[in-house]
Amino acid sequence: MKILHTSDWHLGRTLHGVDLHADQERFHDWLVALVAERGVDAVVVPGDVYDRAVPPTESVRLLGRTLARLAEVSTVILTPGNHDSAVRLGFGAELMRAGVHILADTPGLDHPVTLADEHGEVLFFGLPYLEPDIVRHTLAADGAEPLERSHEAVTRAALDRVRARLADHPGARSVVLAHTFITGGQGSDSERDLRIGGVDSVPGRVLGGVDYLALGHLHGCQDLSSIVGAPAWYSGSPLAFSFSEKDQRKAVLLVELGERGTVHVERIATPVPRPLTELRGTLEQILAQAAVHGDDYVRAIVTDRARPAHLQETLRAAYGHLLLTEYQPEGREAAPLTPVVRQGADPLEVMDDFLAYVTGCDVEPAEHAVFDEAYRDVRARRQDAAGTVGSAGAGTTRAPRRKAAS
């Protein structure tokens, strides 16, 4: 049986303010074509289909179109993650067309979707994201006290239910979709913290004893089979959602499930619409790389000793998809403390000190002259306003001061 494992689509996500909807559409078109071309029997998506509980309308429509297209050539099984709303994603699940299964019901997590091939039954179990504070009551045995408030406790209870159901199907193979953080997995900056009671991960052995564990939550594709003690993979997200993911090779996983104990996993690289690139150096050094990285999503870390004038505008002219600019000067001594403003200090001295602190350079006479002119203008306006108020109080009126023509 061929199973396509993909997760963490995060429909509706932006990247530093850039709308990724068009990139997500391209991925979905590619995915549908791949499923048809490779004759995939089941597509499994363990969580974070949407980026938030109430997704944008266009994301809802994209998911609807994709599920309809996939259902024409395969069976689709989804579970909600920590970004999704299980209630909203699972609404109307029983009304879904044939071939689409949304497993969002925690009490019913031991009721599998069953498919079959020449080697017999394959049971697909879906574990929605298990929020300990919510499900530790639901997953407790009848009449028992609520489970311990931890990810490990609720996940262990969920897998105990799955294994009990598997005992009723001797010889059947099992696939479990689980959205969780396995201890030892490599995370990134763009995954939401799951920490409960100071612990955000689950020991891998808790999820062992199945034929294939399809994991969601971590955005990097990685094999955790040695940690779990059974074939276990994170497919990762199909797109990068932060610069911490810039070196990850995004992929989906084609899992071939043979007779019991035979599992083969193939990584298939997803299309990269626009790579993420981090450039570090002086402004001159960064601009020199525009011929190679001019079309990338760019994070520029500028290290000039003095902050270059018109930095943002200069970078944007060379990099049309600049997302982040950081100024981290090198080659100058870092001030041990932020300068302290003395009570009664000359305001012009304070402005000069601040400019020197920010730029790391002595203030030029022309720069000081700009401060002096601005300060004199502000003082004149305040004095003029005070005079107007005083005259008005004496029963006279005064025409407002006209702004000098520039």
Q: Is 267 within 8 Å of 221 (Cβ atoms)?
A: yes
pLDDT digits (tens, 9 = 90+) for 241-261: 999 999 999 999 999 999 998
Q: Which two tokens stand for residue 401?
A: 């001061």
pTM, full prediction: 0.79
Q: Rounded mean pLDDT of 401-406?
A: 43
Q: Is 129 within 8 Å of 84 (Cβ atoms)?
A: yes
Domains along the chain with CATH numbers: 2-269 (3.60.21.10)
E strands, 47-103, in order: 75-79, 100-102
Q: Is 78 within 8 Å of 101 (Cβ atoms)?
A: yes
Of residues 395 and 263, which shows the higher confidence score? 263
Ramachandran region of residue 310, left (φ > 0), alpha (ψ -120 to 50) or beta?
Answer: left
Q: Rounded mean pLDDT of 94-106?
A: 78
How are strands ordered across the β-sheet holding 100-102? Answer: 100-102, 75-79, 42-46, 2-5, 251-257, 263-269
Residue 256 φ then ψ, to 5°: -105, 115
Q: What per-residue string of b and e applies to 102-127 under the rule 16 or more CB within 10 Å gives b?
A: bbbebeebbebbebeeeeeebbbbbb
Q: What per-residue string of b and e applies to 212-240 under the rule 16 or more CB within 10 Å gives b?
A: bbbbbbbbbbbebbebbebbbbbbbbbbb
pLDDT digits (tens, 9 = 90+) for 157-210: 999 999 999 999 999 999 999 999 999 999 887 766 554 444 468 999 999 999
Residue from 133, 52, 58, 108 nearest 85 by CA: 52
